[in-house]
Structure 1
Amino acid sequence: MTDPYVRTAHAGDGPELGAAHARAWHDAYTGVLPAAALEAATPEALAVEWEDAAVAPPSPRHRLLVACEGPAVAGFAALVPGSDEDLDPARVGELAILVVDPARQRAGHASRLLTAVVTHAGEDGVDTLVTWVLESDKPLHEFLVGAGWAPDGATRELWVDEAGGQVIRQLRLHTSVPVPD
């Protein structure tokens, strides 16, 4: 078995990232998100988005990190400047997404990704990280709380269908970023 590691995404990663993203979302959110939203989350559509993020990040503080087992992609995480109006984007970073392929979960990939996100955030001068978690996503919530994150009291509701009939609630979690040595 090849040692697992985390690296920065590069050109050509889009198809594997899109496939992992689609599998993870279908596994975690079937019955939570509307079927139409999940149907749109195809590996091909997501591959285009992640390939663009890998080759043309909007700023140096936009990071796409990839967890690997040898050459195979196991998961990924995206770090971006804090985007909420109540946050200072110069001091706050946001974990925009954390995905581990369902077939590769419980092998430490999420922990390695989270460690890499915190390290990069610290290098960027960020002192706080936030992320939004679906209220119903207990596994992700418990993982992040176990890693030292906590709710900061912010919540939001997202309308996830065109008619505005289905609403999901999200909670914002935060954690402090240690000052790099």
Structure 2
Amino acid sequence: MVPATPDSFGTLPGVSAAEVRPASPSDAAEIARIQRIAWREAYTDLLGAEAIDSLDAADLEGTWAETIGYPASAVYLATEGSFTVGYCVAGPAPEDEAAAADGSLPTDAGATGLIASLVVEPRWGRRGHAGRLLATAADGLRAQGLSRGITWVAQSDHATLGFYRRAGWAPDGTVRTLDTGRGTLREVRLTGTLELELTR
């Protein structure tokens, strides 16, 4: 599941020292903290409070430390002052993520990047952080020679769908259904250019 907190592309007056930087292994605990908060808000109804509460902080932190060190992807952090407020994971899209529903690959599969996760802690929403994260991730993907991006968003998450639409991305007609153990989550795939002009 890839929760993404919607955001405006601009920066509100009075917001200072807001930036995006690459994550380091020492950031793993903060990323895990934000993930637990975001999942509690986005998925409690779907997964149940017990499942959310059972997310082990140490296990999540270890997973994030491994993700940050994984050479095929990049993890970015959004900060405001001394606070870590969001994160984004991006990299070249694996073939199974870029493939059509019938398993066939598009001609530009090798030039496609994946926004695997984009999350802003809810209390820091609508301050430009998600837009800066997406723009920075797009820059990094373009630097790897990629030209198109994809991501997956819950079909019921209209706010996040709207965020990506404002970035110029749109559903490409591919959907998938994930089994959560308590039900199913239907996600749609969105795609768009990596030539973004968002406020950083």
| 1:177 equivalent in alignment to 2:194 | yes
Maintained 8 Å contact 1:135/1:171: yes
Are 1:34 and 1:160, in contact at CA under 8 Å, matched by a contact in 2? no
Unaligned runs of 5+ in 1: none
User: Within 2, Cα distance between the matches of 1:106 and 1:42?
Assistant: 29
Q: How many residues align?
A: 173
Give the counterpart letter for 1:45 in structure 2: D
Partner of 1:9: 23
**CA offsets, 1:109-147, max 9 Å, x none?**
101001101111111111110000011111111111111
Percentage of pairs with the same residue: 32
Alignment of 1:46-57 (within 5 A): 46-54=60-68, 56-57=69-70
Residue in 2 that maps onto 1:126: 146
Asked whether the equivalents of residues 91 and 128 of structure 1 are also in contact (C-alpha less than 8 Å), the reply is yes
* Higher mean displacement: 71-80 or 83-92: 83-92
* Cα distance, 1:27 vs structure 2: 1.1
* Matched-pair contact (CA < 8 Å) for 1:82–1:94: yes
TM-score (normalizing by structure 2) = 0.79
Call closer, same or farther: CA 1:131–1:103 in 2, change over 3 Å.
same
For 1:101, give the aligned amino acid: E
CA contact (8 A) 2:38 2:121 kept: yes
Corresponding position: 1:71 with 2:67? no
1:33 aligns to 2:47 (yes or no): yes
Contact 1:79–1:117 (8 Å) recurs in 2: yes
What RMSD over aligned residues (CA atoms) do the two structures have, in Å?
1.9
Counterpart in the other structure of 1:90? 110
Q: What stretches of structure 2 of length at least 5 have no aligned partner?
A: 1-14, 100-104
Which residue matches 1:136? 156
Runs of 4+ in 1 over 6 A off after TM superposition: none
Among candidates 9, 15, 19, match of residue 33 of structure 2: 19
Counterparts of 2:147 and 2:30, CA distance in 1: 31
Q: Structure 2 vs 1, CA of residues 84 and 38 (structure 1 numbering), >3 Å: closer, same or farther?
A: farther
**Higher RCO by CA contacts (8 Å cutoff, separation 6 or greater):** 2
Measure, in 2, the Cα distance between the counterparts of 1:99 and 1:125: 25
Question: For the Cα contact (< 8 Å) 1:78–1:96, is it kept in 2?
Answer: yes
TM-score (norm 1): 0.87
